[in-house]
Amino acid sequence: MTMQITIEVPDTLGRQLQNFRERWPEILERGLRELSAEKAVEFEDENVILELLASRPTPEQVLALRSSQALQTRVSELLDKNKQQVLSHQDELELDRYLLLEHLVRLAKAHAYQQLAARS
């Protein structure tokens, strides 16, 4: 399925785009992916990070991922509670989700480093 879109752009951009007419869908997709990654550089929850990783980000975008201060604080609280053995079942599930998310991000970053090293 395709959709036709009409947009107005400045003349200078229009002239540049003419050289890439066959690749317009790719240009839009790449631009949207990049914009999505910019928004998700600091993530609050697993949905944001999973959406980003599923969007096929560049290695640089993966390496730029950072958890928000609020998320870091929450994980620290859960880890402290875990050390004191006072985690509720709900807290335990939440901590497990965050630890899994951290593991996925670490794997993605390791892969990103490998991709960058292969380019050199």
Dist. CA 63–CA 109, nearest whole Å: 6
| Residue 98, C-beta contacts closer than 8 angstroms, at least 6 positions apart | 46, 71, 74, 75, 78
What are the pLDDT digits (tens) for 66-76?
A: 888 888 898 99
Query: 105-114 pLDDT, tens per residue?
Result: 999 999 999 9
Kindly give the parts of the chain with pLDDT less than 70: 33-45
* Closest by Cα among 68, 34, 116, 12 to 108: 116
The rounded Cα 21 to chain-centroid distance in angstroms is 28
Looking at every residue in the chain, the average pLDDT score rounds to 84
